[in-house]
Structure 1
């Protein structure tokens, strides 16, 4: 093996400088979306805290079934299923280190676990209450339960779309639409829960704040889902 000679030194004794490496500053859109994602994560945490505090407060009065319903549904919908949606976003910090295939796996696992918890929490409340359609919260909760089951089926179909002989774009769009509806319904149910006489009578100072946090967290999550779907079809 022949080792090439070192580069010849110029007459002035200095090597010619190489091309400068310039790091382009991030675009305004990237900055805005990163900030939006951080705010959404903080709002989701605030909504979760409000709901968990409520569950702990009513535990001695309404029994474990009522509090367990809140625990499971909030962790399933507000924590896991929203993070499953945000995990596919390029603006989510904690998932940026994963490859796209790994993100899909994380998305699938979080959706399955979140759906199981949410379905279990809903069923506990259904078996614990005699009338289910007397409030907007209960009606939306049952609709959320139905769409959660349908969304799980759509997720499996999306996973095996290449074997079904169907254009994957239609499967992806259908799964994304069902996913958005599935996350909208429980958030609306949570908004009505925060607006109920029970919550306002106990926490009158924080009811409007909890509703505002829930609305903004939902908007941020849906924005990430829509942008991710648009990015997939570019």
Structure 2
């Protein structure tokens, strides 16, 4: 890492360990995620158990719980990983992301199977199209993660900094696509659980998206800005 990049991440992005503001952001994020999973779990099984019941639940767990936690694991200032060495934080990120992908693909397979069983068209609604896009981006992000892991070995093709920045950008885009898909699901014909739970869920997932994306987005911005500025000198 260049001197410019190091100064930027230290002075503009990474607060001292134990920063109370960051700890509160993490706590709010985690509480909102648990509250949302509680709401969606009730909605999934309020009218009985079916194959479809596990689709919104698995997709929500994948994106809202494990993918957000995976992103936070490699975000400076995360209270759960601040004390960890970078290799351990990276390993935690990989494990959580693998679990997120497992839940996401399981949820995707369930809805495809459910459509086939009920002889319905696939990916017709906006919710379905965004869902397909989020699954595709999840797979792209996973492949990009392999590239980021071996970025030093790929340095002759692309500088490690850019490899990691591209992976981070696609990962954040994937999370946003997943959350937009979840929001669209709340406004689909399936949702018949009242306006209170609908807008409570909307409020919670928007908070989760903002709090999860805020610091990584700043990290990408400052590192890209400093990298380009360094190259132009």
What is the TM-score of this pair, normalised by structure 2?
0.79
Name the residue aligned to 1:150.
140
Deviation at 1:123, TM superposition (A): 1.7
Distance 2:223 2:101 in 1: 24
The answer to whether the 8 Å contact 1:40/1:220 transfers is: yes
Distance 2:20 2:113 in 1: 47
Distance 1:229 1:44 in 2: 24
Name the residue aligned to 1:15.
none
Deviation at 1:221, TM superposition (A): 0.6
The answer to whether the 8 Å contact 1:158/1:171 transfers is: yes
Name the residue aligned to 2:70.
84
Give deviations 1:6-63, integer Å, cap 9, x for gaps.
xxxxxxxxxxxxxxxxxxxx98xx4433322221221112222111121222443xx1
> Aligned pairs, how many?
204
Deviation at 1:197, TM superposition (A): 3.6
Name the residue aligned to 1:17.
none
Are 2:58 and 1:75 equivalent residues in the alignment? no
Structure 2 gaps of 5+ residues are 1-14, 227-233
Distance 2:124 2:47 in 1: 21
Distance 1:208 1:55 in 2: 16
Name the residue aligned to 2:149.
159
RMSD between aligned alpha carbons? 2.2
Relative contact order: is structure 1 or structure 2 higher (C-alpha 8 Å, sep ≥ 6)? 2
Are 2:209 and 1:218 equivalent residues in the alignment? yes
The answer to whether the 8 Å contact 1:88/1:228 transfers is: no
Greater mean deviation of Cα atoms: 147-156 or 206-215:
206-215
The answer to whether the 8 Å contact 1:58/1:67 transfers is: no
Deviation at 1:208, TM superposition (A): 1.0
- Write the mapping of 1:183-222 to structure 2, written as runs, cut at 5 A: 183-199=175-191, 201-222=192-213
CA 1:147 to 1:83, structure 2 compared with 1: closer, same or farther past 3 Å? same
Secondary structure class of the residue paired with 2:123: coil
Are 2:30 and 1:44 equivalent residues in the alignment? no
Deviation at 1:228, TM superposition (A): 4.1
The answer to whether the 8 Å contact 1:144/1:186 transfers is: yes
Distance 2:94 2:22 in 1: 24
Are 2:95 and 1:109 equivalent residues in the alignment? yes
Secondary structure class of the residue paired with 1:132: coil
Structure 1 gaps of 5+ residues are 1-25
Secondary structure class of the residue paired with 2:145: helix
What is the TM-score of this pair, normalised by structure 1?
0.79
